[in-house]
């Protein structure tokens, strides 16, 4: 009886619920009918756009898959405006595996951005970084333990006299702090002074407490529209510091002066005053020379007329500009025997070197354009793939050396030009050391550009048999290998060992040849004798070579070489023999060059790894 009563009660309740559910469905249908139809179609259209363009990787529910992270309940998405999200969709994140959606109509990108915002309504956003500095930044004269320029000194020799961390105690090196930046492939080199680190991301500058990694101030702006190449990816390699200002180059090639104490913008000027028809971008860390800020531009892979320029620190006014590719009537135009090279290339995106004893600026230049198609540019194509020796006060050319005349394989000379004073072949000499992308190691007399030594540093170089007595390559096959033997990452010379250290790539891949045993490629940390060019020792890097994973080296008076292992590590080896003494697994591709500094007498070593700044100490 009790059971029967309960059943009847439940049946009665079920009937009432059915009636309520039917009523709700009718009410919902009426609501849909009464809603403005454009709103319904807009929501449906946004969902369709998402399913068509995003769901394959991020999931139909936007909660993420093995291919890509979730976009719903995502604080990073929730913290951005629709305009910022739309700009990100247009730019993409190629380094992180996300393609650009610049081919979508702007209205569709805007609709997707609003849809992503709706997916994150109600998400609690992390507190933003304080608009005011968290502590006061003060500075004085430069100290021995500071790192106040891109390579630590004007010579571009990434050799530090610091030696608290040495071959005996480096096994005790520990990770001290991590600072994340929302960018997958950082290439920045931090600067350090007075207990503060200055690091960069895409259109971002951070001032950090050097001991804890905490943020003091931050400057940022949205990515610029219409960028190409590395500038579109957000690549940036660092800042320059002069007295109370920090100088930074944006993705669209604008030079900014920030207040060193607060990060506030003081002034801004375009590096290229007239960029119409050019694809100028900015990725460079500027260089301070003679109380001016010297910077260059990227974009030669898409067509620019490259240049180096100097600006006044007080207001950004142009001091001088040196064009790397000549126009009609200018010296060097005879080396362009086809069309006038209005967009002939010769970019200047790698920080140069400076010799105060002769007031000479040494600047590397990039490839000619078009880099693979040379029908309209017979000749040597000056002054591409060269090092330029410039009067630092006027920008006038003193001399040049072209490593690869008439380049058809994108063999940029944008590798470090390291200045060394040493005894060479029995007499005191002023040298310039350069390991080029074309596979040859060069020693030049930097007072006049004369060639002293040129020798292959790869086991096979088949585009040229040698470099002749006149300094020109003896070309066998312009399309031969290599075309990426070395790159922009930092190099170092140690006066203790007289060895030159850098990352090299043994690889031969092109449409003109295939099937070579080194087609997959392998990187090596190599040490060369500057006297003979011979490889003294090398450390093979595990795993195959991946594109755009060039990591630099740092030599110290402690007898160490620190370097990034391209496929996911940071290590220290003995300068004398390459024996590994310490290693830290980063488990992420390495694309940056290390630096070192001291605070309160303690030495630290810092490197960017993927999206993180890592700081190590004893």
Catalytic residues: 410
Rounded Cα distance between 207 and 263, Å, is: 8
Answer whether the bond into residue 370 is a cis peptide, omega within 30°: yes
DSSP state of 596: E
Strand locations in 254-317 (E): 254-259, 265-270, 287-289, 292-296, 307-311
Answer positive or negative: Cα dihedral of 563, 566, 569, 573.
Answer: negative
The DSSP-derived string for 13-47 is: HHHHHHHHHHHHHHHHHHHHHHS-HHHHHHHHHHH
- φ/ψ of 3, rounded to 5, equals -60, -45
Cα atoms in the 13 Å half-sphere on the side-chain side of 32: 9
Rounded Cα distance between 256 and 265, Å, is: 7
Answer positive or negative: Cα dihedral of 225, 230, 234, 238.
Answer: negative
Alpha helices in 184-306 (DSSP H): 229-233
Nearest to 112 by CA among 77, 147, 139, 146: 77
Q: Are 173 and 616 in contact (CB under 8 A)?
A: yes
Rounded Cα distance between 67 and 57, Å, is: 5
DSSP state of 477: -
Tokens 């295939």 belong to residue: 514
Conformation bin of residue 168: beta by default, left when phi > 0, alpha when psi is -120 to 50 = alpha
Nearest to 236 by CA among 298, 280, 193: 298
Cβ neighbors of 66 (< 8 A, separation 6 or more) are none
- Three-state SS for 433? strand
b (16+ CB within 10 A) / e for 205-234: bbbbbbbebeebbbbeeebbeebbbbbbbb
Q: Are 246 and 261 in contact (CB under 8 A)?
A: no
């Amino acid at each position: 009886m009790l059971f029967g009563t309960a059943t009847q009660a439940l049946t009665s309740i079920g009937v009432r619920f059915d009636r309520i559910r039917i009523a709700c469905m009718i009410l919902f249908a009426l609501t849909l009918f009464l809603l403005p139809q454009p709103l319904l179609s807009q929501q449906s259209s946004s969902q369709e756009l998402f399913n068509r363009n995003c769901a394959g990787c991020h999931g139909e529910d936007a909660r993420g898959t093995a291919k890509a992270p979730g976009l719903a309940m995502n604080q990073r998405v929730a913290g951005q405006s629709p305009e910022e999200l739309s700009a990100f969709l247009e730019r993409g994140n190629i380094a992180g595996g996300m393609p650009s959606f610049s081919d979508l109509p702007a209205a569709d990108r805007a609709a997707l951005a609003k849809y992503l915002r709706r997916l994150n309504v109600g998400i609690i956003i992390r507190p933003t970084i304080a608009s005011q500095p968290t502590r006061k930044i003060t500075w004085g004269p430069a100290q021995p333990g500071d790192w106040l320029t891109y390579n630590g000194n004007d010579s571009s020799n990434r050799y530090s006299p610091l030696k608290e961390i040495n071959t005996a105690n480096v096994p005790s090196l520990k990770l001290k702090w991590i600072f994340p930046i929302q960018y997958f492939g950082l290439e920045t080199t931090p600067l350090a002074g007075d207990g503060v680190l200055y690091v960069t991301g895409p259109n971002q500058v951070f001032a950090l407490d050097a001991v804890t990694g905490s943020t003091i101030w931050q400057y940022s702006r949205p990515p610029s529209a219409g960028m190409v190449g590395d500038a579109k990816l957000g690549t940036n390699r660092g800042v320059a510091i002069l007295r109370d200002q920090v100088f930074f180059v944006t993705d669209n090639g604008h030079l900014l002066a920030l207040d060193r104490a607060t990060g506030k913008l003081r002034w801004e000027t375009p590096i290229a005053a007239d960029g119409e028809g050019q694809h100028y971008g900015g990725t460079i860390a500027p260089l301070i020379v003679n109380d001016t800020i010297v910077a260059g531009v990227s974009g030669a892979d898409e067509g620019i007329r490259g240049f180096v320029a100097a600006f006044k620190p007080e207001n950004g006014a142009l001091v001088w500009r040196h064009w790397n590719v000549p126009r009609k009537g200018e010296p060097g135009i005879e080396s362009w025997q086809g069309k006038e090279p209005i967009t002939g290339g010769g970019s200047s995106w790698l920080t140069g070197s400076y010799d105060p004893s002769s007031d000479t600026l040494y600047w590397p230049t990039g490839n000619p354009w078009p880099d693979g198609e040379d029908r309209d540019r017979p000749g040597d194509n000056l002054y591409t793939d060269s090092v330029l020796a410039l009067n630092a006060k006027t920008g006038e050319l003193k001399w040049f050396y072209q490593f690869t005349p008439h380049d058809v394989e994108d063999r940029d000379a944008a590798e470090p030009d390291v200045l060394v004073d040493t005894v060479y072949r029995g007499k005191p000499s002023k040298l310039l050391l350069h390991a080029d992308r074309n596979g040859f190691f060069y020693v030049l007399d930097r007072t006049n550009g004369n060639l002293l030594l040129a020798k292959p540093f790869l086991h096979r170089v088949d585009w040229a048999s040698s470099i002749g007595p006149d300094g020109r390559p003896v070309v066998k096959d312009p399309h031969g290998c290599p075309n990426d033997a070395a790159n922009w990452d930092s190099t170092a010379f140690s006066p203790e060992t007289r060895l030159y250290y850098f990352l090299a790539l043994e690889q031969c891949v092109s449409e003109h040849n295939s099937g070579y045993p080194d087609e997959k490629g392998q990187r090596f940390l190599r040490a060369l004798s500057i006297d003979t060019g011979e490889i003294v020792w090398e450390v093979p890097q595990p795993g195959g070579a991946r594109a755009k994973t060039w990591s630099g080296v740092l030599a110290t008076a402690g007898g160490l070489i620190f370097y990034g292992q391209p496929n996911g590590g940071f290590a220290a080896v003995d300068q004398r023999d390459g024996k590994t003494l310490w290693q830290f697994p980063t488990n992420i591709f390495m694309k940056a060059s290390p630096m070192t500094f001291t605070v309160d007498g303690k030495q630290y070593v810092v490197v960017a790894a993927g999206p993180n700044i890592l700081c190590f100490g004893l």
